Amino acid sequence: SQTIHQWPATLVQPVGSPLSLECTVEGTSNPNLYWYRQAAGRGLQLLFYSVGIGQISSEVPQNLSASRPQDRQFILSSKKLLLSDSGFYLCAWRADRGLKDTQYFGPGTRLTVL
């Protein structure tokens, strides 16, 4: 079966510091990968998605970047965090092929920027 991991689970960072969040998927190959942010009281906002290694699409201009160095690894980064980057970051995967065209989410990383 497929599993998705995210770490760290919780992170508190000062404004201006760098960020690196990691997501890995097991049990599937060539997944589509997604990064979302969920702010308090708001829905999920798609930040980046990737259909393959080195292929990154950005949904919104912002202080963040994403990379996919390996087939099942997706990284969210920032060089300098802003207060507005605080939120719950979720990684999701979608099977490249299969009956259900939907996405499955990881446990999330709660980021607080102070």
Partner 1 sequence: QKEVEQDPGPLSVPEGAIVSLNCTYSNSAFQYFMWYRQYSRKGPELLMYTYSSGNKEDGRFTAQVDKSSKYISLFIRDSQPSDSATYLCAMSVWITGGGNKLTFGTGTQLKVEL
Binding residues vs partner 1 (CB under 8 A): 32, 41-44, 46, 49, 51, 55, 57, 88, 90, 94, 100-108, 110
The first and second tokens of residue 16, run together, are: 């201006």
Our CB check for partner 1 shows the closer of 10 and 20 to be 10
Our CB check for partner 1 shows the closer of 18 and 59 to be 59
Our CB check for partner 1 shows the closer of 55 and 77 to be 55
Residue 114: CB minimum distance to partner 1, A:
19
Q: How far is CA 98 from CA 23, 43, 49, 95, 106, in A?
A: 22, 27, 19, 6, 19
Residue 80: CB minimum distance to partner 1, A:
27
Residue 90: CB minimum distance to partner 1, A:
6
3-state secondary structure 17-74: CCEEEEEEEECCCCCEEEEEEECCCCCEEEEEEEEECCEEEECCCCCCEEEEEECCEE
Residue 101: CB minimum distance to partner 1, A:
5
Our CB check for partner 1 shows the closer of 11 and 51 to be 51
**Greatest CA separation found in the chain?**
44
The first and second tokens of residue 88, run together, are: 């719950």
